[in-house]
Amino acid sequence: GAVVSQHPSRVICKSGTSVKIECRSLDFQATTMFWYRQFPKKSLMLMATSNEGSKATYEQGVEKDKFLINHASLTLSTLTVTSAHPEDSSFYICSARGARGAYEQYFGPGTRLTVT
Amino acid sequence: AQSVTQLDSHVSVSEGTPVLLRCNYSSSYSPSLFWYVQHPNKGLQLLLKYTSAATLVKGINGFEAEFKKSETSFHLTKPSAHMSDAAEYFCVVISDSNYQLIWGAGTKLIIKP
């Protein structure tokens, strides 16, 4: 149980285009989803926290207009990187948390974004 | 502020020898602690977790970790390393205030044949 999927696993896009990454909880309802970014040889950096049906809470320094997060249902959250630039190239990982009050997060396999 | 410190950025051991990955944390209360493993270009897998039950926690793939409150440590060990253990390992603590994850910088485990 507690499986989280991400799609796509890898994406290459041209500078200036937008890319959408999906995160799904396959066998549980995720009241909260998190989006992380991981730079090469670095730890995970939390970008934003989203609760189903409400606006995402972004961490300091993360541009909310550039990284659009939608958590429209209890099993799906999307991250859209708008007007992508090469510096947005990174490994993006989502995680999901179940019932309110639970603390354990379940991680997706990650999406490798390369902007050319 | 709470923090997690992984004392070694790289650890290199020979196959069949013991593994020790060190982690120290700061927390005001009794913490919840995790170890995650990340294989190259793969997602994160939970190895084990401590949630104020037994101080010696057994995880998957033969790993275990011991919670030592007096030393504020949660070191990860394995008696005998296998080539498939080569990966990045992250020590994580739950934030006291907002229940978010606070990540260590990671330790890259290298296994020599």
- Six-digit token pair at B67? 């919670």
B103 touches chain A (CB under 8 A): yes
The per-residue pLDDT for range B5-18, each reduced to its tens digit, is 999 999 999 999 99
Q: Which of B84, B19, B12, B17 is nearest to B45 (CA)?
A: B84
Quote the percentage of chain B above a pLDDT of 90: 67
What pLDDT does residue A72 have?
82
* Residue type, position B38, single letter: Q
Between chains, do A93 and B43 touch, taking CB under 8 Å as contact?
A: yes
The per-residue pLDDT for range B89-109, each reduced to its tens digit, is 999 998 877 778 889 999 999
A73 to chain B, closest Cα gap in Å: 21
B94 touches chain A (CB under 8 A): yes
| 8 Å CB contact between A94 and A69 | no
The per-residue pLDDT for range A50-84, each reduced to its tens digit, is 988 888 999 999 999 999 999 888 899 999 999 99
Nearest to B104 among A43, A107, A108 (CB): A43
